[in-house]
Amino acid sequence: MVHCLVASWVLLGAAVAGPQTVVDRTRYDGYALIEVHAGDRDAIAALLATGADPWVDSVRPGFVPVLVAPEERAAIDAAGWSVRVVTEDVQRWVDEEFERLAVRPRVSEGGDPFADFRDLAEVEAILADLAASSPELATVIELGMSIEGRPIRGLHIGTGNGSSPTLYVQGGQHAREWISVSTALWIATKLVQGVAEPQIAALLGEMDVVVVPVVNPDGYAYTWTNERFWRKNRRDGIGVDTNRNFAVGWGGEGAGTEPQEDNYAGPAAFSEPESSAVRDYVAAHPEVVSFLDLHSFGQLILWPWGHIQEPAPDAAALEAMGGELSEAMYAVHEYGYSPIQGVDLYPAAGNAIDWAYGDADLRSYTIELRPTNVEEFEQGFVLGTDQIVPVGEEAMAAVLVLAEWTAQQDVAGTGGDETTTSSGGSSEGSADTSADESTSDGGVVTTTMDASASGATLTSAGSEDGTSSDGDGGENEDAGGCGCTSGPPSGLAGLAMFAMMLLTRRRR
């Protein structure tokens, strides 16, 4: 949904992260958050055709929370949809959040990093501080550059130097999902600061972790300065949904074809430098064997496929591990995270985990963080600060399970218990690591990724048109997926009791 609101849009020029200046921020006067009943996929498609902005990352049949402008609300009411009102005053939430953020103690002034949400400059400062505090363990890396010229930075944690199997974790792909950013930061912080703990020490002795808290830095910065509920990157001021821009299934069901749509897939697979940066990093680091994409909200654990109504080649193993991830998360605070194949909600073609699984042969999952719905904490994307730590703790429990599996994998003959092929798949959209033609809109940009984990360097040359030479938009429904066919680590028990737990998910 493109918001035609009373405040003007003042676009930020290409800039590195620094203290962010608030410009004339978009207002949501007259906007409402409502839940509209859409009982099946056809009804969901009809609802989204009204222009309503789904207030959840993974839309599923039932009461769908949507942000609506007055004209969209009128159309929904006139069509006779069953509606429940959450709030008639979305702007109040925005005002309250930014009033609090304006006086928050900044990390540079001694503030607790997890006492509140952090803007892009603070996120990068936290990563730099973690690396400085443990230089033998943590290194700041750059995957590439965004459309507006911001670096996409992460933290490599471990001592494997390219020989250890690696778990890749990212957040902030959808800009408004702030809890995914704080959660990725929590994971990075707890791994670095907890290295003396037996479990973490043992894991980091066998495997590495890469955490990229903000894979969409332009969009994230824009939510702080211009439009709080912006979702996409900042391509031409309209944006592309990078989680519809990956090659596997690109352009299929659940991906928008018009630039104004919130799930617009872009002109071609990997047309965007942000998605291309992820692709190129994985291609340059064959030690990466597992992939976790953090989003909000819905309290879900999703695995491939998300773009076609078919089980993945090793669906049983994916499902079993999804259950174990869910068990681990529930054990922390007794909040249920439902494990489900991604497509069983609503198709989302061109998403990151389908590509990671289908083209890069990685064990891959998406976690949709709290809340389960807008009734849980009322505000959905605008979570209270009291949720930052518990959500981080829940996600960390899942990371430890996935890390244990990762540590067992064999990379270039390191002798793990199981073998995973991580050399990339056969999809038409798979990476050509010699050149990346997706770059910023400021002309030709050449970026060199820090490949500290392996000692290698990957250079990608950009082009002005932002297209990708290998992203022909071909849909790949025959991708082989993860080469790992064995089951998850031991400890998956009590499935019947677990299913009952999900049905009686605890509310707070």
Instruction: Concatenate the DSSP letters of all residues of 3-45 into one string.
Output: ---SSPP-PPPS--S-SPPP-S----TT-EEEEEEE-SHHHHH
CB 266 within 8 A of CB 247: no
Give pLDDT tens digits for 448-478. Answer: 333 333 333 333 333 333 333 343 333 333 3
Catalytic residues: 368
- CA 135, CA 467: separation in Å to the nearest integer? 37
Strands of 146-298 (E only): list them: 151-157, 166-170, 208-212, 288-296
In this predicted structure, what is the pLDDT of residue 411? 84
CB 280 within 8 A of CB 304: no
Q: 7-11, 204-208, 411-415, 492-496: which has the highest mean pLDDT?
A: 204-208
- CA 34, CA 262: separation in Å to the nearest integer? 18
- CA 217, CA 205: separation in Å to the nearest integer? 31
Say if 98 falls within a structural domain: yes
Say if 161 falls within a structural domain: no
What 8-state DSSP symbol labels residue 385? G
- Per-residue burial over 309-320, b if 16 or more Cβ lie within 10 Å, else e, is eeebbbeebbbb
Question: What is the length of the chain?
Answer: 508
CA-CA distances (angstroms) from residue 315 to 71, 326, 477? Answer: 43, 16, 15
- Residue ranges making up the domain that contains 90: 32-102
Name residue, tokens 């092929």.
421
Mean pLDDT of 62-86: 94
Residue 223, SS3 per DSSP:
helix
- CA 501, CA 311: separation in Å to the nearest integer? 25
Say if 5 falls within a structural domain: no
DSSP class per residue in 130-143 = HHHH-TTTEEEEEE
How many degrees, rounded to 5, is the angle at CA 34 between CA 100 and CA 241?
75
Work out the pLDDT band at 10, boundaries 50, 70, 90. very low
- CA 137, CA 141: separation in Å to the nearest integer? 13
Give the CA count within 13 Å in the CB-facing half-sphere of 65: 22
Say if 392 falls within a structural domain: no
CB 204 within 8 A of CB 383: no
Q: How many domains does the chain have?
A: 1
- Torsional sign, CA 328, 173, 54, 255: negative
Say if 68 falls within a structural domain: yes
442 alpha-carbon distance from chain centroid: 26
Position 64: which residue type?
A: V
* CATH code for the domain of 47: 3.30.70.340
What count of other Cβ atoms lies within 10 Å of the Cβ of residue 30? 16
In this predicted structure, what is the pLDDT of residue 448? 35
In this predicted structure, what is the pLDDT of residue 210? 98
Give pLDDT tens digits for 117-169. Answer: 999 999 999 999 999 999 999 999 999 999 999 999 999 999 887 789 999 99
Say if 489 falls within a structural domain: no
Cβ neighbours for 304, distance < 8 A, ≥ 6 positions apart: 312, 318, 341, 342, 353, 354, 357, 358, 364, 481
pLDDT at 504 over 50: no
Position 49: which residue type?
A: A
Work out the pLDDT band at 23, boundaries 50, 70, 90. low
Say if 48 falls within a structural domain: yes
How many degrees, rounded to 5, is the angle at CA 19 between CA 100 and CA 116?
30
CA-CA distances (angstroms) from residue 29 to 9, 178, 497? Answer: 16, 22, 46
Give pLDDT tens digits for 377-427. Answer: 456 788 899 999 999 999 999 999 999 999 999 985 444 443 333 333 333
Name residue, tokens 């990957």.
458
CA-CA distances (angstroms) from residue 472 to 66, 118, 239? Answer: 33, 37, 20
Mean pLDDT over all residues of the chain?
A: 81
Helix, strand, coil shares of the chain, percent, nearest 5, are 30, 15, 50
3-state SS track over 462-479: CCCCCCCCCCCCCCCCCC
Work out the pLDDT band at 9, boundaries 50, 70, 90. very low
* Nearest by Cα to 66 from 40, 48, 81, 92: 48
Mean pLDDT of 64-73: 94
* Nearest by Cα to 460 from 246, 202, 142, 117: 142
Element spanning 145, H or E: strand 138-145
